[in-house]
Chains A and B, each alone.
Chain A
Amino acid sequence: MVYYVNQSNDPYFNQAFEESLFLNAPEDDILLLWRNSPAVVCGCYQNPFAEVSVPAALEKNVAVVRRETGGGTVYHDPGNVNYTRIARAEGQGADYGRFIRPVVEALNRLGIPAAFTRTCDISIQGLKVSGSAQKIAGGRVLHHGTLLYDTDLTALRALANGRQAHYEAKGIRSAPWPVTNIRSHLADSTMDTAQFQQALFCELTRGGAEPRALTAAQLDEVGRLAEEKFRSWEWTYGRTPAFSYRREFLWRGLRVCAEYEAKNAVIGSVRLTPEEGKLAALEKSLAGLALRPELLRAVCETAGCPGLWTFLI
Chain B
Amino acid sequence: MKNELKMPKLRPEMEKAVLCAWLKEPGQAFRKGEPIYEIETEKVVNQIEATEDGVMGRQLADEGDEVAVGAAIAEVEE
Contacts and interface: CB of A to CB of B under 8 A. Distances in A.
Interface stretch (A66-74, A79-87, A102-110, A248-256): A66-74
A135 B42 contact: no
B32 to A, nearest CB: 14
Interface residues of B, number: 22
B20 A45 contact: yes
Given A91-B10, A241-B64, A242-B64, A172 B18 contact: yes
A119 B41 CA distance: 11
A266 B40 CA distance: 24
Q: Please report whether the interface of chain B is mostly helix, strand, loop or mixed according to DSSP.
A: strand
B44 A138 contact: no
A169 B63 CA distance: 11
A243 to B, nearest CB: 9
Interface string A229-251: 00000000000011000000000
* Contact-residue size bin, chain A (C-beta under 8 Å from the other chain): 20 to 34
A138 B47 contact: yes
A136 interface: yes
Contacts of A70: 40-45
A133 to B, nearest CB: 4
A170 B43 contact: no
B21 interface: yes
Q: Please report whether the interface of chain A is mostly helix, strand, loop or mixed according to DSSP.
A: loop
A43 B43 contact: yes
Contacts of A94: 10-11, 41-44
A154 interface: no
A262 to B, nearest CB: 13
Contacts of B8: 92
A135 B64 contact: no
A295 B8 CA distance: 42
B44 A134 contact: yes
Given A92-B8, A93-B10, A241-B63, A136 B44 contact: yes
A69 B20 contact: no
Contact of B10 (A92, A169, A170): A92
Interface of B: 8, 10-11, 14, 18, 20-21, 35, 40-48, 62-66
Interface of A: 43-45, 68-72, 91-94, 119-120, 132-138, 169-172, 241-242
Given A45-B64, A72-B43, 6 more contacts: A70-B43, A120-B42, A170-B63, A171-B20, A172-B40, A241-B64
